[in-house]
């Protein structure tokens, strides 16, 4: 079975390397912006006289709406092409960020920052970007190319997090959101090299429904869905609540932006390493190692003295493991089921990720407001990391064999 090719004249004008750069830059602005929302948690909560649970619920809704939207957006992109889908996501993303600044009550905040931005993230998704470049990439280089796209999110977090903090400090959170919304609009022209409709895989007449039925009967697919739940729980809890946790420890509040920057910086290396090794070695065993290492990093944080050094070491450790799971998980979907419906099937796996993300960010705020501490969620994160490490061991990584049809 060979990788699919782009059929439109527009798609054929763009070389693979330019498509990879385009997808990486879209992820740079999309994921980089997503990962800075934790910096707005305290300013918005304090200016509105809310507890942390309210804006945490907004971010939780954002994650679940992203997850709900992703399979449909992936299916549309698989059928009609990624360019228009991701461009629409960029426009909705900018509108949603701008609308947050006009949201004076929790319901409006939930609709703007939660529902609208979540839908936008589903359309301008990293998974769609990875799927469209994966179709143009040979199997033995596919995980590496997807890692390069994923690295865009790490670079975005590294660059945009301190930039957003400087906007908040210099102009206030309302103006900072306006500036960020204008930056996100850059996504729209970046989608041009990703335009064009994908062609069905050579020798295959498999339908969407058949692909779904095939995946639902595969035990490895179900286990991937379960494992990716933990990834979502980890990254959204840490990404959105680490700045507040640092402040609660009595450390410099500006250290939160630095910690997010360090996570992004180290994740560039971690994701690239995952891509290189994922094309050579077992992806499922690498995923088991990554989840177990996350639990070890959190234990280091909990048992080390509260200091700037501890925070920076933890940020580097967790950064190496941050998005490294994404190209490996998505790569396993493509490896087992092929690239034709990769956007849709990876989108369903990603929905589980976002259910975990919903619970991670929301429980962080809720349990903090109840107990005045993040301890319960930290320990839950450790347990979930161990569970995810065990879940990946039984996965059958072998590609499914199908009879070719005329």
Instruction: Report the pLDDT value the prediction gives residue 205, as an integer from 0 to 100.
Output: 65
Instruction: Judge whether 52 and 159 are in contact, CB under 8 Å.
Output: no
Q: Where are the beta strands (DSSP E) in 202-250?
A: none
Domains of the chain in sequence order: 9-194+207-391 (1.20.1250.20)
Helical segments of 81-125, H only: 82-100, 106-109, 117-123
pTM for the whole structure: 0.75
Torsion angle of alpha carbons 167, 172, 174, 179, nearest 10°? -20
CA distance 115 to 119: 6
Q: For the chain, which ranges sit under pLDDT 70?
A: 1-13, 196-206, 339, 402-406
CA distance 79 to 69: 16
Instruction: Report the pLDDT value the prediction gives residue 100, as an integer from 0 to 100.
Output: 92
Cα 135–Cα 23–Cα 40 angle in degrees, nearest 5: 140
Instruction: Judge whether 355 and 66 are in contact, CB under 8 Å.
Output: no
Structure tokens at 401: 């064999």
CA distance 24 to 147: 9
Instruction: Judge whether 109 and 58 are in contact, CB under 8 Å.
Output: yes
Instruction: Report the pLDDT value the prediction gives residue 305, as an integer from 0 to 100.
Output: 93
Instruction: Judge whether 135 and 342 are in contact, CB under 8 Å.
Output: yes
CA distance 403 to 406: 10
- CA-based R_g, the chain, Å: 20
Region of 400 please: left (phi>0), alpha (psi -120 to 50) or beta. beta
CA distance 360 to 366: 10
Instruction: Report the pLDDT value the prediction gives residue 12, as an integer from 0 to 100.
Output: 53
Instruction: Report the pLDDT value the prediction gives residue 201, as an integer from 0 to 100.
Output: 52
Kindly report the backbone phi and psi dihedral angles of residue 3, in degrees, each rounded to the nearest multiple of 5, phi listed first: -70, 155
Q: Which of 385, 293, 286, 381 is nearest to 327 (CA)?
A: 286
């Amino acid at each position: 079975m060979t990788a699919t090719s782009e059929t439109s004249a527009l798609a054929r004008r763009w070389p693979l390397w330019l498509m990879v750069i385009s997808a990486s830059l879209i992820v740079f602005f999309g994921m980089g912006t997503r990962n800075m929302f934790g910096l707005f948690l305290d300013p918005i909560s304090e200016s509105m006289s809310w507890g942390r649970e309210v804006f945490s619920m907004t971010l939780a809704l954002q994650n679940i709406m992203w997850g709900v939207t992703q399979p449909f957006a992936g299916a549309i992109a698989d059928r009609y092409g990624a360019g228009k889908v991701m461009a629409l996501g960029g426009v909705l993303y900018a509108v949603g960020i701008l609308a947050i600044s006009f949201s004076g009550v929790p319901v409006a905040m939930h609709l703007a920052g939660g529902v609208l931005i979540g839908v936008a993230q589903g359309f301008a998704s990293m998974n769609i970007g990875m799927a469209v470049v994966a179709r143009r990439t040979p199997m033995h280089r596919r995980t590496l190319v997807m890692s390069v796209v994923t690295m865009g999110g790490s670079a975005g977090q590294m660059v945009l997090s301190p930039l957003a903090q400087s906007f908040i400090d210099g102009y206030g959170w309302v103006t900072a959101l306006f500036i960020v919304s204008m930056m996100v609009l850059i996504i729209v022209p970046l989608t041009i090299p990703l335009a064009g409709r994908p062609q069905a895989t050579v020798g295959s007449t498999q339908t969407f429904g058949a692909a779904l039925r095939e995946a639902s009967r595969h035990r490895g697919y179900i286990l991937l869905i379960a494992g990716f739940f933990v990834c979502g729980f980890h990254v959204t809890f840490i990404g959105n609540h680490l700045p507040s946790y640092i402040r609660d420890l009595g450390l410099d509040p500006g250290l939160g932006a630095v910690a997010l920057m360090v996570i992004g910086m180290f994740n560039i290396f971690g994701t690239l390493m995952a891509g290189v090794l994922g094309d050579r070695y077992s992806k499922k065993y690498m995923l088991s190692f990554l989840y177990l290492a996350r639990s070890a990093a959190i234990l280091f944080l909990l048992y080390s003295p509260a200091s700037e050094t501890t925070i920076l070491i933890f940020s580097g450790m967790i950064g190496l493991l941050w998005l490294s799971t994404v190209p490996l998980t998505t790569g396993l979907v493509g490896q087992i089921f092929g690239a034709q419906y990769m956007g849709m099937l990876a989108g369903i796996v990603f929905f589980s990720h976002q259910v975990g993300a919903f619970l991670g960010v929301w429980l962080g705020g809720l349990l903090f407001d109840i107990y005045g501490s993040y301890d319960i969620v930290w320990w839950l994160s450790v347990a979930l990391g161990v569970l995810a490490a065990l879940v990946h061991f039984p996965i059958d990584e072998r590609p499914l064999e199908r009879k070719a049809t005329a």
